[in-house]
């Protein structure tokens, strides 16, 4: 309990208060409460000579609706023996409501930001599906956004428009672009900023495994003004000489590299053959065809023949070194007499007959064709197809195995490899029964 001066209390009590010269003990529970119009309390103690709030603070209270209305306060003695003004519960409620209001504003802002972020950058990675679009001349950012949204490249054209306007991005070039589904606005803008793709140069393609005769037909289709006759004339001339072809061989089989080639308008037949010949020489040098240590005692031309057999037999790159190992194991007599050093690669007979008709090939299995490797030991006289880089590498780097046989085991191109002729025959019959190939 604390005591207060009666002189001080007299100025605040009613006329029935006790005389000024008496003293009164005041407990916290008995502290008088008055409803009076006063400014909201500051951290300073109230005095008779100085106002509690400045004019600027009173103005701030008006903004929140507290300036001119009555505020419930309570006078209570403090630890120093002087009466302090205590804030009423009513004002505390108002502060709670004010805090709740600001919390709602923050929550709304937070979820709004999440929504905007999703429109600018959708979940997941861009899909691999390529989308070709064309931006017309004079398109606005909004129109470009519509094109992107309609093609499912971005989720929201509106978000695209707001973002480009905010960043002042409005100089996108008209033209053709390649984008992907489910891109972020930022990724799409990066592609558009880079400008339209250059028009694709005219080109022709020659696939791995084709014969020269088949390749010339493909080139004639794709290169204006160049005919099969023009190309054959170049091959028959001495104007271009294959680097790896031995003396006495006239065939170009396997010596032109299969790839996609760009060409300029007006390209001639000689320029086409020169492109393919030079490319073959570059790739052959790259894989080590000029390195005697990699040749295993064979000539570069023999390695090219082996690579062409691998190309014709293996559909999958993983199988190529194993096919190579079977060929070398048979050629070099590591077969314990099971194969008689016969390669028995029927793809060579197709080439020797000049047909890909399996029925025609089967009818000639006993023929004396130089490409019939069922009854002729060793390699065929020339390559039987255009080998790609993977087949050249496999011919130079065969797997180290004891395999002597392989047979196709599914329609995806996988082979069974084995040293056991019984296992080979069982898989062969199984593959025939499952329709993997015909006997």
C-alpha span between 372 and 361 (Å, rounded): 10
Measured between alpha carbons, how far is residue 258 from residues 63, 210, 279, 318, 357 in Å?
81, 8, 9, 20, 23
In this structure, what token pair is assigned to residue 76?
């209570």
* Domain residue limits at 140: 130-193
Give residue 82's pLDDT: 56
Cβ neighbours of residue 238 closer than 8 Å, sequence gap 6 or more: none
Give the domain-ending residue among 138, 169, 193. 193
Q: What is the pLDDT of residue 119?
A: 59
pTM over 0.75: no
Burial string for 63-97 (b: 16+ CB within 10 Å, else e) reads eeeebeeebebbbbbeeeeebbbeeeeeeeeeeee
CATH number at residue 137: 3.30.1490.480
Buried b (16+ CB within 10 A) or exposed e, 241-272: ebebbeeeeeebbbbbbbbebebeeebebbeb
3-state DSSP of 286-330: HHCCCCHHHCCCCCHHHHHHHHHHHHHHCCCHHHHHHHHHHHHHH
Q: Is residue 407 part of a domain?
A: no
- The predicted pLDDT at position 285 comes to 97
User: Is there a domain that residue 277 lies in?
Assistant: no
Last residue of a domain, one of 87, 102, 119: 87
Whether residue 71 is contained in a domain is answered as yes
Residue 140 lies in a domain: yes
Count: domains in the chain: 2
pLDDT at 20: 42
Task: Judge whether 233 and 221 are in contact, CB under 8 Å.
Answer: no
The answer to whether position 165 is within a domain reads yes
Q: Distance (Å, rounded) from C-alpha 414 to C-alpha 398?
A: 17
56 occurs within a structural domain: yes
Residue where a domain terminates, one of 177, 193, 209: 193
375 falls within a domain:
no
Q: What is the pLDDT of residue 217?
A: 97
Render each residue's pLDDT in the chain as its tens digit; 439 residues: 343 444 433 333 344 444 444 444 333 334 444 444 444 444 444 444 444 444 444 444 444 444 444 445 555 555 555 555 555 667 677 777 777 787 788 767 666 555 565 555 665 666 667 888 999 988 888 899 899 999 988 888 888 888 888 778 778 889 889 888 888 888 888 889 888 877 777 899 999 999 999 999 999 999 999 999 999 999 999 899 999 999 999 999 999 999 999 998 899 999 999 999 999 999 999 999 999 999 999 999 999 999 999 999 999 999 999 999 999 999 999 988 888 889 999 999 999 999 999 999 999 999 999 999 999 999 999 999 999 999 999 999 999 999 999 999 999 999 999 999 999 999 999 999 999 987 7
Q: Is residue 60 part of a domain?
A: yes
């Amino acid at each position: 309990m604390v005591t207060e001066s009666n002189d001080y209390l007299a100025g605040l009590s009613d006329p029935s208060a006790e005389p000024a010269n008496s003293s009164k003990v005041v407990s916290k529970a008995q502290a008088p409460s008055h409803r009076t119009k006063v400014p909201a309390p500051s951290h300073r103690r109230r005095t008779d000579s100085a106002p509690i709030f400045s004019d600027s603070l009173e103005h701030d209270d008006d903004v929140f609706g507290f300036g001119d209305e009555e505020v419930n306060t309570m006078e209570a003695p403090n630890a120093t023996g002087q009466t302090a003004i205590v804030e009423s519960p009513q004002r505390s409620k108002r502060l709670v409501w004010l805090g709740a209001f600001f919390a709602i504003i923050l929550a709304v802002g937070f979820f709004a930001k999440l929504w905007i972020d999703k429109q600018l950058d959708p979940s997941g990675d861009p899909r691999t599906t390529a989308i070709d679009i064309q931006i017309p001349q004079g398109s606005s950012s909004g129109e470009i956004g519509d094109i992107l949204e309609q093609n499912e490249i971005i989720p929201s054209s509106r978000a695209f428009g707001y973002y480009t306007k905010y960043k002042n991005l409005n100089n996108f070039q008209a033209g053709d672009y390649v984008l992907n589904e489910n891109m972020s606005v930022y990724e799409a803008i990066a592609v558009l900023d880079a400008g339209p793709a250059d028009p694709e140069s005219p080109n022709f393609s020659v696939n791995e495994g084709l014969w020269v005769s088949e390749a010339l037909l493909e080139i004639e289709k794709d290169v204006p003004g160049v005919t099969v006759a023009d190309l054959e004339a170049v091959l028959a001339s001495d104007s271009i000489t294959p680097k790896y072809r031995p003396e006495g061989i006239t065939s170009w089989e396997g010596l032109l590299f299969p790839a996609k080639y760009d060409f300029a308008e007006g390209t001639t037949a000689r320029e086409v053959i020169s492109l393919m010949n030079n490319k073959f020489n570059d790739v052959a040098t790259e894989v080590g065809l000029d390195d005697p240590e990699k040749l295993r005692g064979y000539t570069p031309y023999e390695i090219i023949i082996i690579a062409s057999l691998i190309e014709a037999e293996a559909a999958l790159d993983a199988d190529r070194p194993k096919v190579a190992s079977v060929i070398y194991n048979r050629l070099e007599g590591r077969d314990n007499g099971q194969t008689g050093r016969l390669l028995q690669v029927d793809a060579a007979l197709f080439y020797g007959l000049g047909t890909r008709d399996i029925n025609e090939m089967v009818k000639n299995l006993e023929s004396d064709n130089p490409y019939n490797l069922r009854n002729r030991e060793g390699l065929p006289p020339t390559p039987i197809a255009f080998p790609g880089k993977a087949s050249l590498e496999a011919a130079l780097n065969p797997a180290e195995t004891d395999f002597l046989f392989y047979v196709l085991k599914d329609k995806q191109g996988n082979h069974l490899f084995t040293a056991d002729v019984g296992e080979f025959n069982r898989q062969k019959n199984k593959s025939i029964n499952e329709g993997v190939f015909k006997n």
